[in-house]
Structure 1
């Protein structure tokens, strides 16, 4: 293999590839990326056996071929090359080395046989549809903060993507929960997605997907089967196994009849919570909300470190209420609110609280209270 490729294109592809490759693995070949040159393209493939990313970039191919090279090392080399550089990649099977040249720089990297590189079996996708990148990005971005990190409840370690009945008909819905908070986000159902099976997209895949969805103008081709999900756009394919498990019936924990309504400026509320939480204990991060007519008092009382209070103007006309929450959960939910105001719907100090973005019901959040 002998090719020449622009540093910028190679760096972008290697950044995406090395995000999939684990830093520590017991299988040496999984530390490498597969480089395949043919025609006028270079294909770069990386996998951890659960997630696979494949990207094709333009290249001047003098000699077609394929090899594998250490992902993180190759990425670091390309990253440190000067802007505008043209990189030459020359594979010498006899020496087992990949030579990387650019200007006066010359590197030789150890390679492993391309035959050893595992490629995820192609699946027959039960459902194929297209959706704008910004629609998918909103769905996953607003839900992912609530993904559980508790490995014993593995079926909560991802975002549940499925077809559901929304406020305005059938919707493409993403849900995530860790048992303490929940996010449910809807978007209009794209044509062709009606038969999509519900799948749990793993946390790592959601993180890598963010790179693919960064282009607002892109249209993403989505393929879904019972065991895999594929996202494809602009010469990049991200394929992932889905979590093998059943997502719990989240509708049972979304409160329906919370009558006490508070409306507050989302940014002002988040800033106030952040300030008073400064003195809270790291372990509990508890903040108390004391509500009375058009008035909210946020307070923290940590015997070891001190106390803090702050008053915030709100729209509230129900009976007085005192309720406590984990400050981090409140900040994460407030951070999802794109509109000026956030609406909190309470029942009492022991029941889950519902949060919406103004009157928009396409994104709702649930947070469990705590004793303070």
Structure 2
């Protein structure tokens, strides 16, 4: 195999590949990227057995062929080459080496046989649909912060994507929760998605998918089965197993009738929470909210480190309420708001609090209170 490829195109492909491979693994081939050259295209494939990424790039193929090489090492080399460089990759299967040439730079890397590279089993997808990049980006960006990192509750270690109903309309919905906070984000249901099985998309897959959603234009083809999900963008194919588990009935924890309403400038609120939390104890990061007569007082009292207080003007006309939250959870939820105002709906100091983005019902957040 011998190919010549522009450094930018090569960097984009190997960057995606090296982020999928596992740094520590007992199977050496899983640290490698499979490079396949034919015609005027070169294909880069990487997997950790749960996720597979395939990236196609245009190249000048002098000699067709395939080999595998350490993804992280190749990425580091290409990253450090000058912009605009033309990179030549030459594989010598007999010697088990791949040479990387760019200008006066020359590298020789060990390879492993392409026959050893695992292929992800093919799947018949029950449902496929097309969604625009902005829609998918909003669904996952606004929900992923609430994914649980607790491995014992593995079924919470991802975003639950499914077709649901809201106000009599069918929607495409993403939900994530860790038991302390919850995000539920809706979008118009794309054509063909009505019968999709509900799937839990793993955290790592969500992070890899995000790299495909940087452009403001374009669409992604999504295919779903009971065990896998596939995202297809121009030149890139991301396939992932889904989490084998049952997502809990999240509707039971979303308050339906919290009567006390507070409306506040979302940006000012997030910044104020961040400021007063500076002196909170690392363990609890507790912040107290006191609301009465159109004013909100945020306060932190940490005997070991100090105290802080900040007042904000709000729209609040109900009876006085004091309630405490984990500052990190409150800040993360408030930071999701795209609109000018955030609306908080409270019941009591011991009940879950609901937050919306203004009057938009398509983004709903729940946060559990804590004693302060």
| TM-score of Structure 1 vs Structure 2, range by shorter chain | over 0.9
Q: Displacement, 1:168?
A: 5.8
Please list, as runs of the form range in 1=range in 2, the aligned pairs for 1:219-234 lying within 5 A after superposition: 219-234=219-234
| 2:312 pairs with 1:323 | no
Partner of 1:338: 338
Q: Which stretch has the larger CA shift, 301-310 or 341-350?
A: 301-310
* CA–CA distance in structure 2, aligned partners of residues 282 and 168 of structure 1: 44
Partner of 1:311: 311
CA RMSD of aligned residues (A): 0.6
Whether contact under 8 Å (1:167, 1:361) holds in the other structure is: no
Partner of 1:111: 111
* SS, match of residue 11 in structure 1: helix
Q: Displacement, 1:22?
A: 1.3
* SS, match of residue 16 in structure 2: helix
Number of paired residues? 372
What TM-score does the superposition give when structure 1 sets the normalisation length?
A: 0.99
Task: Provide, for residues 156-175 of structure 1, a one-character-per-residue CA deviation record: whole Å limited to 9, x for no partner.
Answer: 00000000002360000000
Task: Provide, for residues 91-148 of structure 1, a one-character-per-residue CA deviation record: whole Å limited to 9, x for no partner.
Answer: 0011100011010111010000000000101111000100001100000000000000
* CA–CA distance in structure 1, aligned partners of residues 56 and 167 of structure 2: 40
Whether contact under 8 Å (1:167, 1:362) holds in the other structure is: no
Partner of 1:135: 135
* CA–CA distance in structure 2, aligned partners of residues 82 and 280 of structure 1: 46
* CA–CA distance in structure 2, aligned partners of residues 211 and 274 of structure 1: 28
* CA–CA distance in structure 2, aligned partners of residues 166 and 214 of structure 1: 28
Q: Which stretch has the larger CA shift, 164-173 or 275-284?
A: 164-173
Whether contact under 8 Å (1:155, 1:244) holds in the other structure is: yes
Task: Provide, for residues 16-56 of structure 1, a one-character-per-residue CA deviation record: whole Å limited to 9, x for no partner.
Answer: 11110111111100000000000110000000000010010
Partner of 1:349: 349
* SS, match of residue 335 in structure 2: helix
* CA–CA distance in structure 1, aligned partners of residues 168 and 265 of structure 2: 26
Q: Which consecutive unaligned segments of at least 5 residues does structure 2 have?
A: none
Whether contact under 8 Å (1:43, 1:57) holds in the other structure is: yes
Q: Find runs of 4+ consecutive structure 1 residues off by over 4 angstroms.
A: none
* CA–CA distance in structure 1, aligned partners of residues 134 and 307 of structure 2: 42
Q: Which consecutive unaligned segments of at least 5 residues does structure 1 have?
A: none
* CA–CA distance in structure 2, aligned partners of residues 193 and 180 of structure 1: 30
